[in-house]
Structure 1
């Protein structure tokens, strides 16, 4: 399959640029809907460090699912919309991802197609998780998040992590980059706090919809200081 996914992170420093970015959460829809080869896109804000649900007005994300890499290449090289985003942001980075596995649903369906062109020599893994939290469980969920995320602090295998989302508090997602599968598995299955979070998820049934997706990052454009320089 030739489908690929890109996630672009934008950093804004000035008040004017932050207001512009917030406005584009509405005004970017029209040009994005007209992009050739774009299967699906998600405009997303972000939360404060530590997966805090309150907004971080300095960082925004754009997730895009493409028919193929060529369609993505045309967009990033020629799109007037992307040129405006780059000119307004102080930092921006686009990561190209091949899907390794995806389970669950996003807006009613699983949009990711598993790639058949993965590179066995590439150890890096990117993860996108997304969920819609049930209204009656919002307080319990966000009250527990700081506990479940403790193992991420000073985790040597974690290269980057950010909470992102479509609707603050209700529709949340996480994006993370790991140096290898072993680091991700160690967090997922050997962390007491994360294991307890999985149990609570099953017991309390936090979500009305959820999706877990794992990717192989293989190409990057631009620069984002918190991610640093990646070897592709």
Structure 2
């Protein structure tokens, strides 16, 4: 049976003067999120370029919230929540995407945040979410392997947006990428040599203590990232 779960991604841009307030919100809003009705899973995230997955990638002027909801009604109700209003007060832009889980494997903080979606055809734009917790002693070899894949990602046909995401400055990281179609995402994931090489090395090297790969269909989006609509 197809899950009713819906995911949302909020990406907030803040002016330089509001960076301290954003850091405060990252710490203070975790507990209030636990009390939001219909919320199954949520992560407040720092973002960055995702080009090296080290501290120097971080963008202190852009923050995100990835959330998974029981259903569309719960996701819609969050639009007027106190948590979102607090972020809007300090932000100078916001991009919000509503997403349908299409496929997911692996764990995030020992959970399956998107459940186990029933396979389904999707003809519109798609979002890919990857997240990993690195094995500490393997981190250096992982960081050395990342730049060619990241460069190829940003040059891939059909890519509309790519963000590095992280729960901590080092070791807990991933990517969110928006694609024109499943075909464009599949071409990057399976047909391009740099990514294929890293997938092979992942199994050989044992880089991750925990990993998640998910694909979500874009139901709707509003707002901007970096002053533009990613789908514009």
The one of 58, 61, 75 equivalent to 1:58 is 61
Deviation at 1:119, TM superposition (A): 7.2
Where structure 1 has 5 or more consecutive residues not aligned to the other structure, the ranges are none
Which residue of structure 1 aligns with residue 190 of structure 2?
A: 189
Would you say how many aligned residue pairs link Structure 1 and Structure 2? 228
Matches of 2:230 and 2:141, distance apart in 1:
37
Aligned positions of 1:120-139 closer than 5 A: 120=122, 122-139=123-140
Deviation at 1:10, TM superposition (A): 0.7
CA contact (8 A) 2:49 2:162 kept: no
Measured on the aligned residues, the alpha-carbon RMSD in Å equals 1.9
CA contact (8 A) 1:166 1:172 kept: yes
CA contact (8 A) 2:163 2:176 kept: yes
Which residue of structure 2 aligns with residue 6 of structure 1?
A: 8
CA contact (8 A) 2:160 2:230 kept: no
Which residue of structure 2 aligns with residue 144 of structure 1?
A: 145
The one of 77, 88, 111 equivalent to 1:74 is 77
Where structure 2 has 5 or more consecutive residues not aligned to the other structure, the ranges are none
Which residue of structure 2 aligns with residue 102 of structure 1?
A: 104
Does residue 42 (structure 1) correspond to residue 37 (structure 2)? The answer is no
Moved over 6 A (4+): 116-119
CA contact (8 A) 1:8 1:92 kept: yes
CA contact (8 A) 2:104 2:213 kept: yes
Which residue of structure 2 aligns with residue 21 of structure 1?
A: 22
Which residue of structure 2 aligns with residue 171 of structure 1?
A: 172
Superposition TM-score, scaled by structure 2 size: 0.91
Matches of 1:118 and 1:184, distance apart in 2:
16
Structure 2 residue matching 1:112: 3-state secondary structure: coil
Superposition TM-score, scaled by structure 1 size: 0.91
Matches of 1:154 and 1:143, distance apart in 2:
19
Deviation at 1:184, TM superposition (A): 0.9
Which residue of structure 2 aligns with residue 215 of structure 1?
A: 216
Deviation at 1:25, TM superposition (A): 1.2
Deviation at 1:32, TM superposition (A): 0.9
Aligned positions of 1:74-93 closer than 5 A: 74-76=77-79, 78-93=80-95
Matches of 1:210 and 1:75, distance apart in 2:
28
Q: Give per-residue Cα distances to partners, 1:44-63, cap 9 Å, x unaligned.
A: 11124525422210111101
